[in-house]
Chain A
Amino acid sequence: MTYGTYLRKITDPANRADPYPLYAELRKTPVLRDEGGPYLVSTYWEIHGLLHDPRLSSDPRNLDPDAAAALAVTEEADDPTLPPSFLRLDPPEHDRLRRIATYPFGPPHTPRRIHDMRGELARIVTDLIDDFEGRDRVDLVDDFAYPFPVTVICRLLGVPRADEPLFHAWADTMLTSLDPAAAEADVAQRRRAVRQARVELGMYLSELIEDRRRAPAEDMLSSLIHGDGPDGRMSHAELVSTAVLLLIAGHETTVNLIANGMLTLLRHQDVLKRLHDDSRLAVPLVEEVLRYEPPVQLLPHRTPLTDIDIAGVTIPKGAAIWLVLASGNRDPKRFPDPDRFDPDRKDNQHLGFGSGIHICYGAPLARLEGQIALAELARRLENPRLLEDPPPYRHNAVLRGPRHLPVGFDGVRPAREP
């Protein structure tokens, strides 16, 4: 992989704990041709414009072959067994698959599904925090931020929670394809491993789908298999691709939202205190976490269908474009005092979930999980504090978050009466 100066810096683990000075430097050149690497777009309005620009494709098949080879991001496109998920498709295929996927998940057909999960989400959180009792420290990632969304996505989709060790390993391997640094080592070997993991996860979900086809349950997989709307049903292969996407996206990003959120709160004890006193603060606070420490730092998979001029730079057709969402979120031209964490911030139109047609599918669920998790942690932990600052981070620069988050506390307050 050809490797630009800035990309090297972004992926350098030394910059993981605080990439924001690097982004500030990037913003001096809103659209930067990173020598030999992709075009990096780092300013709010340019990113926002491109997210709504129909000249931009999300389909890796539109990448110039050289750019594709250099980037090692084609793991979906060159997989002979599974079609690409809607994340990597353009309209009209994207729209059709996303509409069908939304059928059992949200409006207009199932508007209450997420809202009605509130009680269930709260119970899972309560149980996890109950398990902290008798301890004076926990790893907030392994003991809370990871198991919570995994449990939720398993129940929602209808994947047995007990199979978590299985699919977690596949998911981890697949996500290294999103990790530019990992791709540097041995591209061919890495690609083989990613493809293998995708095939195995696909086969696992394919069997599960066959089970549900025979014996439907009250879960999204069953609805996707049996539901029938104006757009018809997905093919079996499309179903498997979609299930792979939802399972991975549904548990790998919310972990970071919760861990980044708690880390930020522990660094801003005044805000933590306010949240303890009034859990309603969780609503705007989660939006500010999504701006200030977004779980998805950048979107690496866009390419123009034609030469486009932006901020004085011509990006040629087929070039790879990376949208540095986390940098746009700190752009002083859009957000006053952008490096300040301010849950009372007005007009917070952050890029944490992206924007345009590819806006995060699971955003409403992630929001709710984040709100309930942070509010309950703030309410129940007595005198919580960071034991390591900065904490150790995951290797991945795209899905950025702490690998572990050791937190000490003096006790656990009782759960609310149900």
Chain B
Amino acid sequence: MSTTDERGASRAHRPDDSLARLRREGRIVIVGASLAGLRGAETLREEGFAGSLTIIGDEPDRPYDRPPLSKQVLVGGAAADRTTLPRRRAIRAHWRLRTAATGLDLTARRVRLDDGDEVPYDRLLITTGARSRPWPQPAEAELDGVFVLRTNRDAERLGRRLMAGPRRVLVIGAGFTGSEIASACRELGLPVTVVERGPTPLVGALGGVVGQVAAELQREHGVDLRCSVMVTALEGDAAGRLRRAHLSDGTALDVDLAVVALGAVRNTEWLDGSGLGAGPRGVACDAGCRAFDVRGLVTDDVFVAGDVARSPHPLFGYQFLSLDHWGNAVAQAEVAAHNMISPGPDRRPHLWVPAFWSSQFGVNIKSIGVPSMGEEILIAQGSLAEHSFAGVYGCQGRVVAAVTFDQTKWLDFYQQQIETAAPFPPPFRSVDRRPDGLHPVPAEFPDPSLPSHGPTVTLCGYSPTERRIVFTPARA
């Protein structure tokens, strides 16, 4: 509440007053109409923001949930256009859907849109997320029968083709999305071949020890899994339909449907030339979700959240983490929204411990922390052979991550171990310790300089205290 009196003009220059005005009648624009954008908008309203709220998104639909798209939607358990996210509260937003942001003017505080319009803002929240990495040969990517899976439209098209009963499905890349698609295909009884350039599925995210279990799951469920192999070309027939895939081992596969699951590309091109610290790895921001500009200076009116953000995490040596995680999108959007309309001392750091889940071949896979930082892994509970275990990752003598296969109920404990930087290997007995768990073994992550399919966490490693923030202004 504020009153206008004869001193109102001078008061307006005090930060409290300008913040109060922002909260009362400011303009907040959110670019990116998915999970992070929606939860950010809800948090703004929840915390009393009464001004105008504009949400811009290039897809035609209200924010929808993506994880079901590679799971129940593909097996017919849910309709692709029916995963719209529920609201926590009414947000009274002005939606500009089917509209892509094409540029940002930091000085004039305006977002440019592809319809030529410009939208002014007092505070901006960037939640543009990521998109599927396309097949690198554009002509081959155009073939009928070549798919990616990211949006609900992708899922609808792919689902329809799967229901039509292809002779064989080729999944290119055995990260989480690729593995889940393969699992859905097997559930539908479809023959499926998975080609992965790394030594095992999930190797980038969980390392080779756990990846080996993922490989066993695939093979036991009838997947034709081919690791350490690449697809070199996709071949079409005269009508432009996919008919064959050529592999780096010299073999060829007759397939009429291929799903390219080579990870994600962050949607930052629209920020090229804006002066914001944005590049292929995302938009860099501080722990309070405020974006950095290219000079490495923090802005105070542009905030970032979700898959597109890269932020330093104090638990992991202030390394900049980019997380394509559902939970991160929610938590980071909440922090960003809170900080957008709060005075400095009330702002919060984004301290979310990375966590994700995947379900494939009837197994619930969950992880907490940053497995790819792990040098070694100890199977603390259960057994790799039974595909039911809890594994702990260690780096330089402390616990940095954990993974469970069908052992979720223990994960809270390992989260607490990560948060308190507990010693690794764990110097204690626990229930269900098997011969597997007597000694830590190398976690077998691939050389990070080699690309692999779909690591879910990208370590970029520049600490603000080192003043070595370097941004790649445009895509290589």
**A residues touching B (Cβ–Cβ < 8 Å)?**
48-49, 52-57, 90-92, 95, 305-306, 308, 356-357
Q: Is the CB of A55 within 8 A of B409?
A: no
Can you list 15 residue pairs at the A/B interface with Cβ under 8 Å?
Answer: A49-B416, A52-B409, A52-B412, A54-B430, A54-B432, A55-B430, A56-B431, A90-B432, A91-B381, A91-B431, A92-B382, A92-B432, A95-B388, A306-B429, A357-B409
Q: Is the CB of A305 within 8 A of B431?
A: yes
A54-B380, A54-B381, A54-B390 are contacts. A91–B412 as well, Cβ < 8 Å?
no
Chain A residues whose C-beta falls within 8 Å of the C-beta of B95 in the assembled complex: none
Smallest CB–CB gap between B89 and chain A, Å?
13
**In the docked arrangement, what's the CA distance between A357 and B413, Å?**
13
The 0/1 profile, CB within 8 Å of A marked 1, for residues 430-442 of chain B is 1110000000000
**In the docked arrangement, what's the CA distance between A308 and B429, Å?**
11
Chain B residues whose C-beta falls within 8 Å of the C-beta of A357 in the assembled complex: 409-410
The 7 closest A-B pairs by CB, nearest first: A54-B430, A91-B432, A90-B431, A306-B428, A52-B412, A305-B429, A52-B413
Chain B residues whose C-beta falls within 8 Å of the C-beta of A56 in the assembled complex: 431
Chain B residues whose C-beta falls within 8 Å of the C-beta of A53 in the assembled complex: 413
Chain A residues whose C-beta falls within 8 Å of the C-beta of B428 in the assembled complex: 55, 305-306, 308
**In the docked arrangement, what's the CA distance between A53 and B412, Å?**
8
The 0/1 profile, CB within 8 Å of A marked 1, for residues 404-439 of chain B is 000001111100100000000000111110000000
- Return the chain B residue nearest A89 by Cβ: B431
Smallest CB–CB gap between A8 and chain B, Å?
31
Q: Is the CB of B412 within 8 A of A49?
A: yes
**In the docked arrangement, what's the CA distance between A360 and B415, Å?**
24
Q: Is the CB of B413 within 8 A of A54?
A: yes
B contact residues, total (Cβ < 8 Å): 16
Chain B residues whose C-beta falls within 8 Å of the C-beta of A356 in the assembled complex: 409-410
Chain A residues whose C-beta falls within 8 Å of the C-beta of B390 in the assembled complex: 54
**In the docked arrangement, what's the CA distance between A95 and B429, Å?**
18
Smallest CB–CB gap between A160 and chain B, Å?
36
**In the docked arrangement, what's the CA distance between A95 and B381, Å?**
12
- Return the chain B residue nearest A306 by Cβ: B428
A54-B390, A91-B381, A92-B382 are contacts. A49–B413 as well, Cβ < 8 Å?
yes
**In the docked arrangement, what's the CA distance between A306 and B381, Å?**
15
Smallest CB–CB gap between B185 and chain A, Å?
21
Q: Is the CB of B431 within 8 A of A57?
A: yes
**In the docked arrangement, what's the CA distance between A218 and B432, Å?**
35
- Return the chain B residue nearest A50 by Cβ: B413
Smallest CB–CB gap between A319 and chain B, Å?
15
Q: Is the CB of B412 within 8 A of A305?
A: no
Smallest CB–CB gap between B434 and chain A, Å?
8
**Given A54-B381, A90-B432, 7 other A-B residues pairs in contact with their CB atoms under 8 A:** A53-B413, A54-B413, A55-B428, A91-B382, A356-B409, A356-B410, A357-B409
**In the docked arrangement, what's the CA distance between A357 and B409, Å?**
6
**In the docked arrangement, what's the CA distance between A94 and B412, Å?**
19
Q: Is the CB of B430 within 8 A of A305?
A: yes
- Restricting to B143-194, which residues have a CB under 8 Å from any CB of A? none
Chain B residues whose C-beta falls within 8 Å of the C-beta of A308 in the assembled complex: 428
Q: Is the CB of A54 within 8 A of B382?
A: no
Chain A residues whose C-beta falls within 8 Å of the C-beta of B430 in the assembled complex: 54-55, 305
**In the docked arrangement, what's the CA distance between A305 and B429, Å?**
6
Chain B residues whose C-beta falls within 8 Å of the C-beta of A49 in the assembled complex: 412-413, 416
Chain A residues whose C-beta falls within 8 Å of the C-beta of B410 in the assembled complex: 52, 54, 356-357
- Return the chain B residue nearest A48 by Cβ: B412
- Restricting to B358-398, which residues have a CB under 8 Å from any CB of A? 380-382, 388, 390
**In the docked arrangement, what's the CA distance between A48 and B412, Å?**
9
**In the docked arrangement, what's the CA distance between A4 and B242, Å?**
77
Chain B residues whose C-beta falls within 8 Å of the C-beta of A54 in the assembled complex: 380-381, 390, 410, 413, 430-432
Smallest CB–CB gap between A176 and chain B, Å?
28
**In the docked arrangement, what's the CA distance between A286 and B380, Å?**
37
Smallest CB–CB gap between A317 and chain B, Å?
8
- Return the chain A residue nearest B388 by Cβ: A95
**In the docked arrangement, what's the CA distance between A91 and B380, Å?**
12
**In the docked arrangement, what's the CA distance between A26 and B70, Å?**
49
- Return the chain A residue nearest B383 by Cβ: A92
Chain A residues whose C-beta falls within 8 Å of the C-beta of B409 in the assembled complex: 52, 356-357
- Return the chain B residue nearest A307 by Cβ: B428
**In the docked arrangement, what's the CA distance between A341 and B318, Å?**
44
**In the docked arrangement, what's the CA distance between A331 and B281, Å?**
44
Q: Which of A57, A91, A308 has the most CB of B within 10 A?
A: A91
Chain A residues whose C-beta falls within 8 Å of the C-beta of B412 in the assembled complex: 48-49, 52
Smallest CB–CB gap between B327 and chain A, Å?
17
Smallest CB–CB gap between B80 and chain A, Å?
25
Smallest CB–CB gap between A336 and chain B, Å?
17
Smallest CB–CB gap between A89 and chain B, Å?
10
**In the docked arrangement, what's the CA distance between A159 and B20, Å?**
68
Chain A residues whose C-beta falls within 8 Å of the C-beta of B382 in the assembled complex: 91-92
Smallest CB–CB gap between A106 and chain B, Å?
16
Q: Is the CB of A55 within 8 A of B429?
A: yes
Q: Which of B382, B388, B390, B429 has the most CB of A within 10 A?
A: B429
Q: Which of A53, A54, A55, A56 has the most CB of B within 10 A?
A: A54
Smallest CB–CB gap between A323 and chain B, Å?
15
**In the docked arrangement, what's the CA distance between A267 and B410, Å?**
39
Smallest CB–CB gap between B204 and chain A, Å?
28
**In the docked arrangement, what's the CA distance between A52 and B413, Å?**
6
Chain A residues whose C-beta falls within 8 Å of the C-beta of B381 in the assembled complex: 54, 91
**In the docked arrangement, what's the CA distance between A238 and B89, Å?**
50
Chain A residues whose C-beta falls within 8 Å of the C-beta of B416 in the assembled complex: 49
**In the docked arrangement, what's the CA distance between A95 and B432, Å?**
10
Chain A residues whose C-beta falls within 8 Å of the C-beta of B388 in the assembled complex: 95
**In the docked arrangement, what's the CA distance between A151 and B251, Å?**
66
Smallest CB–CB gap between B162 and chain A, Å?
23
- Return the chain A residue nearest B428 by Cβ: A306
**In the docked arrangement, what's the CA distance between A54 and B430, Å?**
5
